[in-house]
Structure 1
Amino acid sequence: MPKNSQAPGTNEQQSSSNPSPQPAVTSQRRMMIPGLAVCLATGLLCIFVSQFLNGLSALLLAIILGAVWRNVAPIPKVLNPGITIASKRLLRLGIVLLGLQLSLGTILGLGPGVLLVVVLSVGVTFALTLWIGGKMGIDLPQRLLIATGFSICGAAAVAATENVTRAKQDQVATAIGLVVLFGTLMIPAMPLLGALLGLDDRSTGMLIGASTHEVAQVVAAGGSVSAAALAVAVTVKLARVALLAPIIAGLGIYMRRKHSVEGGKNPPLVPLFVLGFIAAMLLRTTGVLPESALSIAQSAQTLLLAAAMFALGLGVHLRSIVKSGGQALLLGLLGTLIIVSVATVGTLLYPPA
């Protein structure tokens, strides 16, 4: 018998004991397709429908549709892998592209008084909401999610905070549900408050931008007043969004020092997508990108965030809010009252020029 007559069998046996990982990877990717397709298609649908619904943005509509589906009908399990990807990766990519809407020059152009109000709105709301939640006995991750979402930029901030706090999925869903609930109530309430205080359109826009939770909700509220109010509201709101990076970085440092999991991997100091957000903001500030590129990026960002908001809405289960015993709901109410109070006093003292 030839010396190497067993080689083919041996090689075949070795090959079978070390199968290529490629089929498994391909299978996982295929599993993501149905859920991703549903989220992206719903995002496109919301963008289309929002054009005919004055005051209702695509992002807000997507969250509402997701929450309605989650609470009235079962979600097919085949969609779960893609929904998970949409709620995390698409959201993070959308946040990175959101940085292209921020120019440091535009933000600094608000003036020192308005910028002070922005910083106080975020800082005071975050600190007091976190402190009050602690006195109420609410878990730290839940408090951080609510405090960040209500002080900065709603569901996107909640998702960013989840990355460094190791929050449970039901805690994330509760925070997002509260952002949707109270932020939606603020759409008619903040313009009404501005009218009651006798504020002009630009000051009303500042009040809306400094207090309202979601960017989409700010657009809806500001647009219901006037174009001038909308312009100021969005600029002030984006100034708040710019504070997402330092807040998340600070949380990353705090969680590493005080609350890292024993024997586990430490939370990231600064998530990669937050660095991408900063890089995009700096790129926009340079002015090298043409308007056509910025327009395409904004359309892509809207689609990605709408798809992600729908996916996040699918995780909003009303029972999870009820199970909190009303504590999270009360904290959300108090957080809203805090930021409205700070924004109101700040607008009266330092109205936009």
Structure 2
Amino acid sequence: MPAAPFAAARPLVPGLLSSLAAVVLAMGIHLLIPALPAMTVAVVLGILAANLPGSSQAVAGILRPGLNSAGKHLMRAGIVLLGLKLVLTDLLGLGWKTFGLIVAVVLLSFLGTWLIAKAFRLPGDSPVLIASGFSICGASAIGAMAAVRGTAQKDTVMPVALVTLCGTLAIGVLPLLSKPLGLSPLEFGQWAGASVHDVGQVVATAQTAGAAALAAAILVKLTRVVLLAPIVATSSLLERRNRPAGSKMPAIVPLFVIGFLAMMALRSTGWLGAPVLETGAILQDVLLGAALFGLGSAVRVRELLGTGLRAVLTALLSWLLIAFLGLLAVRLMDS
């Protein structure tokens, strides 16, 4: 009997090991080219693995069970550890005006993106997944929202690819606009934190303007991350209301979101020393990187190009919307 769980897990091993190897490679590339976030590199490596002739067969075959497991379970574990980046006192120190403006950016960009996706008639849960990723925290938010809605993993592939594409676009474009818009380093950091999707992409964008910009960007961005829990919980409540009586209901607050909040509370106590926090940050990067490689490996470029034009237009319009809302919020913060 004890051997049964190991037998069931054996098919997952090749894919999980390949995901971990991809994370090591992604982190190595990030060290060589700091402007490229490791998480973005991990998604790109997954897409390449799925579409290059030498690796696509293995990705679709022996590696697939482990890659699917990484995309689902390691993503949730990484979201839990993301809570270790948040300190309540830092967020409260923003002041009610700044906090309210950040909340407004998230809610308006979420609603705006959802309406754009609906206007382009994107199918299934794509509108809410894309809205979550663009407005809150990239692929992590997509994974969390997909979990509470019971979305099939294959249906998260396109939203993850789009949020990665536009977040990478922001790394190159936003710094070029800083001077024409007359932004100080602090204002540029706030803008990056309010409008770029993934935490790693925010860091890569803001660090171009110096330490002050980076600190402001991280604080604003993590405030957006805090909103992951209430928005996911609200979506879960709506999902429960819309499901027929007798069907399986999603948890109001999923276990991994409770874990995320618990890690945030633990970090806020000040009990955790620097070594523990550094270890947690590394482990979080490994887990999310492996998950994103797994999700990226499900992207078939030919299929995406053939069916994703409306989705690409949705993503670009959403990217412009949140950039505008973020810039407007920064102007209002300083007024």
| TM bracket, shorter-chain basis | over 0.9
Pairing partner for 2:309 from 326, 340, 343:
326
Q: Following TM superposition, by how much is the alpha carbon of 1:268 offset from its aligned partner in structure 2, in angstroms? A: 2.6
The answer on 1:141 being equivalent to 2:125 is yes
Which residues of 2 match residues 137-286 of structure 1 at below 5 A? 137-258=121-242, 260=243, 264-286=247-269
CA gap of 1:174–1:109, structure 2 versus 1, over 3 A, is same
* Deviating more after overlay: 202-211 vs 103-112: 103-112
Q: Which structure's CA Rg is the greater one?
A: 1
**Alignment partner, residue 23 of structure 2:** 43
Pairs within 5 Å for 1:17-32: 20=1, 22-32=2-12
Of residues 149-158 and 66-75 in structure 1, the stretch that sits farther from structure 2 once superposed is 66-75
CA distance in 1, matches of 2:287, 2:124: 29
| SS of residue paired to 1:51 | helix
**1: CA distance, partners of 2:192 / 2:23:** 25
Q: Is the 8 A contact 2:102 2:194 kept in 1?
A: yes
**2:13 alignment partner AA:** I
- State the Cα RMSD in Å: 1.7
Instruction: State whether structure 2 residue 311 is matched by structure 1 residue 311.
Output: no
Partner of 1:70: 50
Match of 1:17 in 2: none
CA distance, structure 2, for counterparts of residue 337 and residue 49 of structure 1: 29
Identity of aligned residues (%): 40
Task: Report how far residue 235 of structure 1 moved.
Answer: 1.3
Match of 1:59 in 2: 39
Partner deviation per Cα, 1:61-89 (whole Å, 9 max, x = no partner)? 11111112212231411111211221111
Contact 2:72 2:153 in 1 (8 A): no
Report how far residue 32 of structure 1 moved: 1.2
Q: Alignment length, in residue pairs?
A: 331
CA 1:108 to 1:84, structure 2 compared with 1: closer, same or farther past 3 Å? same
Q: TM-score, normalised by structure 2?
A: 0.94
Question: CA-to-partner distance for each residue in 1:311-345, whole Å, 9 max, x for gaps?
Answer: 11112222343343522112111211111111011
Counterpart position of 1:6: none
Shift of the 351–28 alpha-carbon distance from structure 1 to 2, 3 Å rule, reads: farther
State the alpha-carbon separation in 1 of the partners of residues 69 and 155 from structure 2: 18
Larger CA deviation: 38-47 vs 161-170: 161-170
CA-to-partner distance for each residue in 1:142-194, whole Å, 9 max, x for gaps? 10100000000111111111112232444311101111111111112112222
Correspondence for 2:321: 338
State how far apart, in whole Å, the 2-side matches of 1:319 and 1:246 are. 36
Matched, 1:292 2:272: no
SS in 2 for 1:233: helix
Q: Secondary structure of the residue that 1:146 maps to in structure 2?
A: helix
TM-score, normalised by the number of residues in structure 1: 0.89
Query: What amino acid is aligned across from residue 131 of structure 2 in structure 1?
Result: A
Task: Sort the Cα spacing of 1:30 and 1:241 in 2 relative to 1 into closer, same or farther, 3 A.
Answer: same
* Deviation (angstroms), 1:47: 1.7
| Compared CA separation, residues 295 and 349, structure 1 to 2 (3 A) | same
1:88 aligns with 2:68: no
In 2: Cα distance, 1:139 partner to 1:267 partner = 21
Partner Cα distance (2:259, 2:15) in 1: 25
Partner deviation per Cα, 1:228-283 (whole Å, 9 max, x = no partner): 1111111111111111000100000001102x266531223221101100000011
SS of aligned partner of 2:218: helix
Distance 2:102 2:143 in 1: 21
> Which digits, 9 at most, give the CA deviation of each residue in 1:198-257, with x for residues without a partner?
111111000001000111111111112212111111111111111100010000000110
CA contact (8 A) 1:126 1:151 kept: yes
1:191–1:208 CA contact under 8 A, matched in 2: no
Which residues of structure 2 form unaligned runs of 5+? none
**CA distance 1:62–1:252, shift in 2 (3 Å):** same
Secondary structure of 1:195's counterpart equals coil
Secondary structure of the equivalent of 2:183?
coil
The one-letter amino acid of 1:26's match is F
Residue in structure 2 matching 1:116, options 68, 90, 100 = 100
SS at match of 1:45: helix
